[in-house]
Structure 1
């Protein structure tokens, strides 16, 4: 039977970030059934948006580019979910906030999802969620051969309240998680040993992210606080990136900043508690931007797996005989587009 004639199969997809949702959409379009398992409360992964009393923050991915024609085509199917973000003001700053180099390359359009970065994945996931294909707040703890049909797979899961469950009857299991989590799950499966060493070569850096709001900047007669630019790469030892959230299209007007720490500093302070990390990053933010005002809102997020330092070097892993696959941005790099291409090409290999 050719791949075009293959009977519909049922696949378990672990992870509802852009790689997992892209993979799922492609399989469904090819006539297959999917069940997506996501440990968080919603789809998105690092395409994340956090609300506050002062407006939202894109506390994961800040923007994305679109170079692959397949990604561009996918974005065109939901044009209302994305808008260009004029990043002409992006600069590179030294430790004192001085501009040392021009901004990001102008040939790459910078896109953001609207009204928040999470919206793109959420929008793509809506039909899957409406069809009952997504199990949220469900963490997969083990993958193993089906107890009744050994040629199929079953998943052992745990919900937020500790309730355990077994989902069975899958023709294949596709992991769309951070590399470390994929590695941990694959170790529970004797059939995935050849991949373990490959995954151990992948290196992914953590990132502390700081979120600040300055509603006082909205007072009559008071212009925006701090610098005239809206986003910047930084060589400050604590900070790698800063962005004025209110400068992005479709966002609330209150002055808000998202600050992403450098990989080295984040690794060094990976075990700090949130108040300690926030205080250190706030001090560095003041040094770089010149904003000395007290923020009305301070929040943070510690991403354990944020930016790929050494990728897998191929878009995915797929073993048709075993019915096991792996995808994620870390297969190719750290871009949103890398996650899309990885999820797409795994699905295409499956079908």
Structure 2
């Protein structure tokens, strides 16, 4: 992802800590690194990806978080062109809207807009971009921040890391707030984070090993993706219909924000049972799945965004970015991380 022509290179190589290796963090880190800055990217999980995470099961992979992405910003299109062939359109002719009984209410695609996915799973895009970063450290979640004499220290699960000129939080807004509070830090933008609302999401992943394409046309409905007005389920997708995926029939089901919030404290097994019944009601697929898993995203979808692409406190050397700054799309996360990095390079801070 080339740096923008208008960006100025910093006079000295500053060292940034970026906490969170999802799309926003990786986009920010790549841009800063390409502008000549030192970057250490810290990720709590064992790999980069954030909410593009894919879950591997006995029946194949599931895109457990982001299902697809759009390309509306020219800079995002330019970045995708640096990894040709990694992403392809998902040929969903229509995304249907279903009622609680599985009846089609409407079936109109957004005009002229493609649904893009990475191969072989959604997290491949972020992972590929992250692989080019010199300072990626996984299984290294931040627990506290501190500063002394103008230098930042990040305390992590794997030990303390010192010597940063600034710290950038590429985390969901509630997690960023919690980290600041645990660190006893109040910034110029701390209060703004409290205005951001993010909803949880329970995701159900179902595999049917007895149903394998292309011998089987489909199992159940003749559509591959749908939104639903069912009180439990908001989205359903046939994973095996996405390009570059294994052909064993697999479905990813995402619960509604309201239902997810109501059942946030339930066990995965209880959620799995409830969502599987709702899935059968909507799709008519009543065969027992050979594999089933439920996963909770505590901060899955932005309900009330910040309304600006990033936040930055020059006096403290603290900033934050993420999809929640602008909306809930994967593209929003990219734009947020990119614009924070460009602003820092332009201001030489």
User: Shared fold (TM-score greater than 0.5)?
Assistant: yes
Distance in 2 of aligned mates of 1:219 and 1:120: 26
Q: Is the 8 A contact 1:144 1:188 kept in 2?
A: no
Q: What is the Cα deviation at residue 3 of structure 1?
A: 5.0
Q: Is the 8 A contact 1:171 1:323 kept in 2?
A: yes
* Between 217-226 and 341-350, the greater mean CA deviation after superposition: 217-226
Q: Secondary structure at the match of 1:271?
A: coil
Distance in 2 of aligned mates of 1:275 and 1:55: 20
Show the counterpart of 2:343.
Answer: 349
Q: Say which of 288, 291, 305 aligns to 2:285.
A: 291
- 1:331 paired to 2:325: yes
State the superposition RMSD in angstroms. 1.5
1:69-218 → structure 2 map (5 Å cutoff): 69-128=74-133, 131=134, 133-146=135-148, 150-159=149-158, 165-189=159-183, 192-218=186-212
Q: What is the Cα deviation at residue 193 of structure 1?
A: 3.5
Q: What is the Cα deviation at residue 264 of structure 1?
A: 0.3
With over 3 angstroms needed to count, the CA separation of the structure-2 counterparts of 1:94 and 1:270, relative to structure 1, is: same
- 1:39 paired to 2:44: yes
Q: Is the 8 A contact 1:187 1:193 kept in 2?
A: no
Distance in 1 of aligned mates of 2:280 and 2:10: 61
Consecutive unaligned residues of structure 2, counting only runs of 5 or more, are 1-6
Q: Is the 8 A contact 1:320 1:350 kept in 2?
A: no
With over 3 angstroms needed to count, the CA separation of the structure-2 counterparts of 1:92 and 1:252, relative to structure 1, is: same
Distance in 2 of aligned mates of 1:127 and 1:234: 39
Distance in 1 of aligned mates of 2:137 and 2:208: 37
- 1:10 paired to 2:15: yes
Q: Is the 8 A contact 1:88 1:106 kept in 2?
A: no
Q: Give CA deviations for 1:7-39 in whole Å, capped at 9, x if unaligned.
A: 110000000000000000000000000001100
With over 3 angstroms needed to count, the CA separation of the structure-2 counterparts of 1:32 and 1:220, relative to structure 1, is: closer
- State the TM-score, normalizing by the size of structure 1: 0.94
Q: Give CA deviations for 1:38-88 in whole Å, capped at 9, x if unaligned.
A: 000000000111111211100100000010000010011112210000121
Show the counterpart of 2:4.
Answer: none
Q: What is the Cα deviation at residue 250 of structure 1?
A: 0.3
* Between 12-21 and 78-87, the greater mean CA deviation after superposition: 78-87
With over 3 angstroms needed to count, the CA separation of the structure-2 counterparts of 1:220 and 1:37, relative to structure 1, is: closer
Show the counterpart of 1:56.
Answer: 61
Q: What is the Cα deviation at residue 166 of structure 1?
A: 1.3
Q: Give CA deviations for 1:132-157 in whole Å, capped at 9, x if unaligned.
A: x11111111111113xxx11111111
With over 3 angstroms needed to count, the CA separation of the structure-2 counterparts of 1:323 and 1:215, relative to structure 1, is: same
Consecutive unaligned residues of structure 1, counting only runs of 5 or more, are 160-164
With over 3 angstroms needed to count, the CA separation of the structure-2 counterparts of 1:262 and 1:220, relative to structure 1, is: closer
Q: Is the 8 A contact 2:321 2:340 kept in 1?
A: yes
Q: Say which of 256, 273, 279 aligns to 2:273.
A: 279
Distance in 2 of aligned mates of 1:81 and 1:222: 27
Q: Is the 8 A contact 1:90 1:102 kept in 2?
A: yes
With over 3 angstroms needed to count, the CA separation of the structure-2 counterparts of 1:213 and 1:39, relative to structure 1, is: same
